[in-house]
Amino acid sequence: MADSEWVIGVVGGSGLYAMDALENAQSIRVESPWGEASDDLVLGEIAGKRFVFLPRHGKGHRVPPSALNFRANIDVLKRAGCTDMISLSAVGSLREDLPPGKFVIVDQFIDRTFAREKSFFGAGLAAHVSMADPVCPRLSDMAETAAKAADADVHRGATYLAMEGPQFSSRAESELYRQWGCDVIGMTAMPEAKLAREAELPYALIAMVTDYDCWRDGEAHVEVHDILATLHANADRAVNTVVEFAKALPETRPENPLDTVLDISLITDLGVADRRVMEKLDAVCGRVFEAREV
């Protein structure tokens, strides 16, 4: 695969519903066979590079975590031509040294969600992608550098516990996750990261700490209004991080091993695969179908 143009998909989490840094911005609705995405996509440029922005919860935060159509969100980013994906997410901290306001570049996940569709594949066409290393190291390196350039207090490397929600943790759960070695906790990174891998979209997560969850003795439990105050304080820095990320991108995009993970992950003989399933996977698997002349 030759070097190509960057098209960066940015998914904004709680408190980040717009990307004012986009130049020549246009809002478009992209239809998906997987249902409705969270909102329209906003296409534009930053520092001469192409970006596609999607507010994960919709403008005004209309969609709660368990109701998010993660498959549609990833599918429309792929249809819009995205080559890579940055996730901006609010999280709680499970460590004393990750205080509110900290930016954390996540590299591992523990998925405790249970009420969500977690794969594009299933009956009719099976695939098994590796999630041993669930984020793209190249994107994560660039995200760390960009966050520092935006004057964020950055920590590199953390395990993200993905909980179902929408309720926050009990104290017992929070303590359990700390015993597991988890560093931050949130409700939206899974199955987002898994689906990005299936769609051959290299993925990096910039987590913005809003609170200490509820594990600290003698501290009041987390409340939404406290989280919102920290989110608003972090929003400008998050946008500036994306701007710094754009400014540092090379002119052309080198190939990435994650661009072709489906070559070794599809297990079904495409000659007997369900054609209706294949039609829904035209964006996710189109490269593979074309290469195999299906």
Identify the active-site residue in 39, 75, 183, 213. Answer: 213
Rounded Cα–Cα distance for residues 202 and 70 (Å): 16
Q: Which of 39, 183, 211, 259 is catalytic?
A: 211
Average pLDDT over residues 110-123: 97
> CA 176, CA 170: separation in Å to the nearest integer?
10
**Arithmetic mean of pLDDT, 126-141:** 98
- What gap in Å lies between CA 4 and CA 43, rounded to an integer? 18
Cα separation, 17 vs 62, in Å, equals 11
**Alpha-carbon dihedral of residues 172, 93, 67, 233, nearest 10 degrees?**
140
**Whether the model pTM is above 0.85:** yes
pLDDT of residue 1: 41
Cα gap 9→30, rounded to integer Å: 14
- Domain layout of the chain by residue ranges: 7-291
**Cβ–Cβ under 8 Å, residues 214 and 221:** yes
289, 270 Cβ separation under 8 angstroms: yes
Report DSSP state, residue 17.
Answer: -
Q: For the chain, what is the mean pLDDT?
A: 94
Residue 213 designated active-site: yes
Q: State the pLDDT at residue 220.
A: 63
Per the CB < 8 A criterion, the answer to whether 273 and 126 are in contact is no
Element holding 147 (H helix, E strand): helix 137-149
Whether residue 242 has pLDDT greater than 70? yes
Q: Distances from the Cα of 49 to the Cαs of 9, 59, 80, 138, 243, in angstroms? A: 11, 24, 14, 17, 10
Query: CATH assignment of 7-291?
Result: 3.40.50.1580
Specify whether the CB–CB gap between 23 and 46 falls below 8 A. yes
Answer yes or no: 217 catalytic: no
Share of the chain above pLDDT 70, in %: 96
- Tens digit of each residue's pLDDT (9 = 90 or more) over 151-190: 999 999 999 999 999 999 999 999 999 999 999 999 999 9
166-175 contact pairs (CB < 8 A, 24+): 166/64, 166/65, 166/66, 168/92, 168/213, 168/214, 168/221, 168/222, 169/92, 169/213, 169/214, 170/214, 171/214, 171/215, 171/221, 174/94, 174/213, 174/214, 174/215, 175/215
